[in-house]
Amino acid sequence: MSDAAFCPACVGLPEGQLEKAASNGTNQIVLSLPGIHCVACINGVERSLRALEGVANARVNLSMKRVTIGTNQPVSPETLIDTLEMAGFEARILDNSLLGSDADEYGRGLMTRLAVSGFANMNIMLLSVAIWSGAIGATMQLFHWITAMIAIPTLLYSAQPFFESGWRSLKAGRLNMDVPIALAIILASGISLYETIYGGHHSYFDAAVTLTFFLLIGRYLDHRSRKAAASAAAQLSALEVPRVMRLRDGVRQMVDFADLAIGDLIQVLPGGRIPVDGKITDGISQIDRSLLTGESRLSDATTGTSVTAGEVNMTGPLTIRATTVGSDTTLRKMVTMVDEAEAVRNRYTAVADKAAAIYAPAVHLLALFAFIGWMLYSADLRLSLNIAVAVLIITCPCAMGLAVPAVSTTAAGRLFRAGLLVKDGTALERLAEVDTVVFDKTGTLTMPAAARDMMDAQTQSIALAMTQNATHPISQAIAASLHGVIPALVTNQQEHAGQGLSATYNGQTVRLGSGNWLGVGHGTFIQIGDAKPQRIALQSQLREGAAALVRAWQDQGLSIHLVSGDDANETARIAAALNIDAWQAATKPADKIAYIEKLTADGAKVLMVGDGLNDTGALAAAYASISPATAADASRAASDIVLLNDSLQPLIELPLVARAALARIKENFTISTIYNVIAVPVALAGFATPLIASIAMSASSITVLLNALRLKGRL
């Protein structure tokens, strides 16, 4: 049962209602709240913080598990953390400046422009229908002027994205899709205004506004498909501890991370992230090293044990002497690796961009030839301009602009309903070309579990009572394996740093923890009273749908590999269970990146599937990537696709949908090309006015949209 199930306040309240008004105050501090899960948590956090002197306001973001505190006088982050922990909430300092803003000003601007152009287009079309129906003389001129007064402000506002993009492209000495778009809008509007001023019979404001409206639809769909992507390097950087406890001459002092030097002694409390690479000089604890290994098993740590930045101290306070600081720490090096890997993948050229490189110059040349040819033939400037504008409009890449986002959005909708979130606009194009898959093991193909059949009913009941509310990964694995068991009534439960848990059951002392603590060697045991300790067998079990997924992808022609930070025996066991021949064990983050780079160098297009912080670099380095929703924030940020379900079953059809989507994109470009082959000669011959060109362009756009909708059916 999830934590949220214990919170009555969680029931029936949509997450959109959970955020309060924006924080205010002269300064802002951001804290991570990994344990919050409901409205009651939000209210408790905000109430505790607002009671502090100097705190102006506090706003909790439940989905991001963060609180932003506005202060109007100096308040240290440590004071805020102590206050929250006294109230029962785990809190950690988060360097939010490294994450960037969550606001989507550009997306909201596009939606507003889309709404304005759509509303204006409806009104202009009403006036145009009246003109087409036979309005003449003063009535026609009045309608032209009303149309101009609606269209010109609309175009100046709504078409800004195309004007700005086209101008930037021209200043950079190149052509993109927005150059012919902007030129068509400007020329159509200019000719229409000229015709209106001098009493002409035709104006084409309806064509210009319709063109803008359809193109904004494509631009917004494309933006939404890209918005979910975030920098994995920024997510990793935010894990760095901005302030640390330094011990110098027996004095404890909170200092900035940047002020640390090699040789400094640093104190890290249980639950804290280790800020530097170093060696433990005092203390006994257990360390979560999933950042480097991806494995959930904790490592014992005592005096002399080496630790690295980004690892988490789980059970006891530690004093660490720094051996590397700043940019030399393991965490900073991981950030650099991810940055470099992302830069390589970001050089992928989308299908639409490839088309634009050829299409834009061709459109301009056609329009120029049309203008020159008709000027030489007729010596009529107005006629020549009209035909040139008709060519620009009829060849305007509206259908081409919709070709990719229409398909991507339809495919993303289908995948979302199946439990997959597409985060990157080019993800499906890249996934369609993938021929090799590299899986992480722990947390991706397997989940930690305890063998419940080795414990009798009473032992199961006691073990569940002791572990159901514990945060230790092993405790959580034991509790998860005992689903359906009724917990026993235990009292006086305590946690012993680096050792385990103890409690009282029916007057007897019960201990659950490491074998060394119970005097029986390595492993995890439970002892009831003076009875002999019973071993709790811990091993990885296949995640639901893992076998079916690997088998299906192999049948689809994909080459499957397994890389893991675990030892060779466990990795070999899982590889054999899944019929995977290519595997590598004991891999560190740099090893995983190197493994993918080698496959890439051999000509493979690699899909990486992983969940740990140690997988972040590999996820970014791969041609395409997937992570489960339970993955670390940085891993999800580096991924193109996020699996929202516990089961791996929804991934089976992903390559099929991606291949179908790429086929639809290519079909849409074919439709656009055929349309141009037919329509361009008509426009060049002078048989298409700008209005007819606009109608033809709209028809091609609708055809492209209908073709994209075919993805909703059978593949």
Are 243 and 256 within 8 A, CB to CB? Answer: yes
pLDDT of residue 293: 56
Q: Which residues of 31-53 are buried (b: 16+ CB within 10 A; e: fewer)?
A: bbbeebbbbebbebbbebbeeee
Q: Which residue in 440, 566, 633, 640 is the catalytic one?
A: 440
Q: For the beta carbon of residue 417, count every other beta carbon within 10 angstroms.
A: 10
The answer to whether 602 is a known catalytic residue is no
Name the residue type at position 495. E
Using alpha carbons, select from 348, 355, 366, 350 the residue that is nearest to residue 400: 355
Tokens describing residue 308: 């690295």
Domain final residue pick, 79, 94, 109: 94
Bridge partners (DSSP) listed for residue 503? 510
Cα gap 525→515, rounded to integer Å:
6
Let me know whether 515 and 654 are in one domain: no
Question: Which residues 6+ apart lie within 8 Å of 600 measured at CB?
Answer: 606, 621, 623
Low-confidence ranges of the chain (pLDDT < 50): 1-23, 97-101, 228-233, 342, 344-349
Instruction: Please state, in angstroms and rounded to a whole number, the distance separating the CA atoms of residues 653 and 556.
Output: 10
Q: How far apart are CA 5 and CA 11, in angstroms?
A: 8
Distances (CA, A) of 688 to 201, 343, 696, 697: 16, 46, 9, 12
Q: Compute the distance between CA of residue 455 and CA of residue 523 in angstroms, rounded to an integer.
A: 15
> What Rg do the C-alpha atoms of the chain give, in angstroms?
31
Q: What is the pLDDT of residue 704?
A: 79
pLDDT, tens digit (0-9, with 9 covering 90-100), for 575-608: 999 999 999 998 888 899 999 999 999 999 999 9
642 and 654 share one domain? yes
- Is residue 549 located within the same domain as residue 643? yes
In Å, how far are 248, 267, 490, 578 from 264, measured between CA atoms? 7, 10, 43, 48
CA distances from 676 to 174, 373, 437 (A): 23, 19, 39
> Average per-residue pLDDT in the chain?
78
The per-residue pLDDT for 435 is: 95
Looking at the fold, whether 471 and 499 belong to one and the same domain comes out as yes
* Continuous H helices in 497-587: 515-518, 546-555, 568-577
698 CB-side CA count, 13 A: 16
* DSSP H or E run through 292: helix 290-293
Q: DSSP state, 259?
A: G
Phi, psi at residue 89, to the nearest 5°?
-115, 125
What CATH number is given to the structural domain containing 490?
A: 3.40.1110.10
Tokens linked to 147? 């149309």
Q: What is the pLDDT of residue 128?
A: 77
Do residues 560 and 654 both lie within one domain? Answer: yes
Is the pTM of the predicted complex or chain greater than 0.75? Answer: no
Domain extent at residue 481: 447-541
Measured CA to CA, the distance from residue 182 to residue 393 in angstroms comes to: 10
Same domain, residue pair 555 and 638? yes
Of the three residues 324, 341, 373, the one that is the final residue of a domain is: 324
What digits encode the pLDDT tens for the residues 450-491? 666 678 888 989 998 988 877 566 777 788 778 778 889 999
CB-based contact 60:20 (threshold 8 Å)? yes
437 with 572, same domain: the answer is yes
User: In total, how many domains does the chain have?
Assistant: 4
Q: What is the pLDDT of residue 5?
A: 37
> Cα–Cα distance between 429 and 345 in angstroms, integer?
13
User: Tell me, what's the pLDDT at 402?
Assistant: 67
Q: Partners of 491 in the beta sheet?
A: 504
Residue type, 86: M
Q: Which residues face 514 on adjacent strands?
A: 524
Q: Please, what is the Cα angle at 139 between 137 and 142, to 5 degrees?
A: 110
Are 606 and 622 contacting, i.e. CB atoms less than 8 angstroms apart? Answer: yes
- What's 633's domain CATH number? 3.40.50.1000
Query: Which residues neighbour 53 within 8 Å (Cβ) at sequence distance 6 or greater?
Result: 73, 75
Q: Which among 619, 642, 659 is the end of a domain?
A: 659
Closest CA to 166 of 180, 155, 154: 180
In a domain, 178, yes or no: no
Non-local CB neighbours of 126 within 8 Å, separated by 6+ positions = none
Which tokens go with 460?
Answer: 């199961």
Which pLDDT score is estimated for 653? Answer: 93
Same domain, 603 and 522: no
Query: Under a CB-based contact definition with an 8 Å cutoff, are residues 562 and 578 in contact?
Result: yes
Both tokens of 297, joined, read 């098993």
Where do we find the tokens 């019929």? 579
Whether 639 is in a domain gets the answer yes
